[in-house]
Amino acid sequence: MNNTVAKAEGKLGILIPGLGAVATTLIAGVEAVKKNLAQPVGALTQMGNIRLGKPIEARNTAIKDFVPLASLTDIVFGGWDVYSDNVFEAAMKAKVLEPMMLHAVRQELEVVRPMKAVFDQWYVANLHGDNIKEAPTKADLAKSVMDDIETFKEANDCSRLVMVWCGSTEKYLESSSVHETIANFEEGLRNNDPFIAPSMIYAYAAIKLGVPFMNGAPNLTCDIPALIELSMQTSTPIGGKDFKTGQTLMKTILAPGLQARALGVTGWFSTNILGNRDGYVLDNPDNFKTKEVSKLSVLEDILQPEINPELYGEIYHKVRINYYPPHGDNKESWDNIDIFGWLGYAMQIKINFLCRDSILAAPLVLDLALFSDLAKRAGMSGIQDWLSFYFKSPQTAPGLRPEHDIFKQLIVLHNTLRHMMGEELFTPDGADYQQEVETL
Ligand SMILES: NC(=O)c1ccc[n+]([C@@H]2O[C@H](COP(=O)([O-])OP(=O)(O)OC[C@H]3O[C@@H](n4cnc5c(N)ncnc54)[C@H](O)[C@@H]3O)[C@@H](O)[C@H]2O)c1
């Protein structure tokens, strides 16, 4: 397959609906890294390694030297928001990065001004912006986003584009008939079907133009049969949902370990306080429901109570998010985990993670943008299961169980890169190379 991965020539435009805390932390971060002011910590595409060949060969290489990724100097950013602040102003308001850091890249940030958003307050009740498109139908709105995409591409001389949704979490929605086929969906666009959310309109516009689309929020967005069908028709990589950061990241690191040691779990209580705009949006029960569904799926899928009812059959899992302005983007989470061991003796684990939400999320956006662009150049289309590593609620092919165990997800990601480059895949059984070591 290595002969078929086209080189990353020319500029890559990263288009982002939602220029809030996560997006501005990404953009400012990339500009700071380009000026050697900081390191891109947390991004596999910049700092990750991959082992090649058999373990005894000890061949390790940086991922960015192994696969042809766009370089940071070839990236141009653009985006949409319901507020008209440029990225410098929005980053100052988000208060994630220090003003000194932001002033060092001020010029680069000020030129990124949000295009008018596709927005519907029914989906995000707590936002009141005025940088919003107006058009008679959702089909006209989709056309307007497509025009934005093409104008941006030309104005910035980009050879390729990707889109990553960093907009607010929309109200909870279940898949319905308008989402079933692309014919239904396009008819729904023309008829202003209320179950076509703004995020779906951006996703449709991107996928229709063959622009890879990744969804960082828990909204359905491109996780509907209609847009999966369109992504196959237009040979477009898609993926989602909900960046795996903070508490859920910890859960998918810890739970596989407990399960690996056959330790029982009776309860996992997770609570969070955060005070950024994301927290404010999630303070609305309709929006929280979307997040809750995404956060709850993780444990059941890792522990599989149906296979191990003695260990996990009684588990009580609760997740809470509380809006608490004094903490801003510095989310604090507490987990109380009730576990049991040999002969059923009870134990407890307490985790208090003082994290920074957008600091954890920004490198994921960069990786998703660069890897989805790579996937497109490698001729891959449809749902990119191999990027599950980045999501709380991975989008998988219909009927397939999502994999949540972060270590298994990493093996799949690495193996996909090996496969793209025609390298031997890694199988963790070890029996074959153990024998080779013994005969050395
Ligand atoms: N930070 C994390 O760790 C993390 C983890 C997982 C998921 N997420 C999700 O990522 C998204 C972004 O998080 P954030 O902290 O940057 O939130 P934020 O509130 O700071 O930014 C979201 C931005 O999206 C804009 N927006 C909302 N609807 C829009 C629309 N239809 N079109 C264009 N812009 C729109 C808002 O005005 C806002 O500026 C949220 O959905 C959040 O739930 C974040």
Tokens representing residue 418 in the block: 């090996």
Q: If you take atom 31 of ligand 1, which residue's CA is the nearest one?
A: 119
Dist. CA 297–CA 388, nearest whole Å = 14
Query: What band does 426 get if pLDDT is binned at 50, 70 and 90?
Result: confident
Q: Over the chain, what is the mean pLDDT?
A: 93
Q: Which of 120-134, 278-292, 365-379, 396-410 has the highest mean pLDDT?
A: 365-379
**Mean pLDDT, rounded, for 125-145:** 96
For the chain, report the end-to-end CA distance as a whole number of angstroms. 32
Q: Cis before residue 54, ω within 30 degrees of 0?
A: no
Distances (CA, A) of 120 to 82, 133, 295: 10, 10, 25
Query: What band does 292 get if pLDDT is binned at 50, 70 and 90?
Result: confident
For 422-434, b/e burial (b = at least 16 CB within 10 A) is ebeeeeeeeeeee
**Mean pLDDT, rounded, for 352-365:** 96
Question: Strand order in 346-354's β-sheet?
Answer: 316-323, 264-274, 332-340, 346-354
State the distance from the centre of ligand 1 to the C-alpha of 440, rounded, in angstroms.
55
* Four-CA torsion 47, 50, 51, 52, nearest 10 degrees: -130
The residues with which 337 forms a beta bridge, in sequence order, are 268, 349
Tokens representing residue 211 in the block: 């622009």
SS3 (DSSP) at 349: strand
State the distance from the centre of ligand 1 to the C-alpha of 348, rounded, in angstroms.
34
Is this prediction's pTM over 0.85? yes
Q: CA geometry: angle at 327 spanning 104 and 32, to 5°?
A: 20
State the pairing for strand pair 264-274/332-340. antiparallel
State the distance from the centre of ligand 1 to the C-alpha of 170, rounded, in angstroms.
9
CA 392 to ligand 1: nearest atom: 6
Residue 440 has pLDDT above 50, yes or no: no
* Structural domains of the chain ordered from first start: 2-243+358-420 (3.40.50.720), 247-354 (3.30.360.10)
Tokens representing residue 48 in the block: 């990750």
- Residue 318's contacts (CB-CB under 8 Å, 6 or more residues apart) are 268, 269, 270
Which sign, positive or negative, has the C-alpha torsion 370, 374, 377, 382?
Answer: negative
- Residue 345's contacts (CB-CB under 8 Å, 6 or more residues apart) are none
State the distance from the centre of ligand 1 to the C-alpha of 292, rounded, in angstroms.
16
Q: What is the pLDDT of residue 348?
A: 98
Mutation to probe ligand 1, out of 95, 115, 166, 169 (largest number of atoms < 8 A from CB): 166
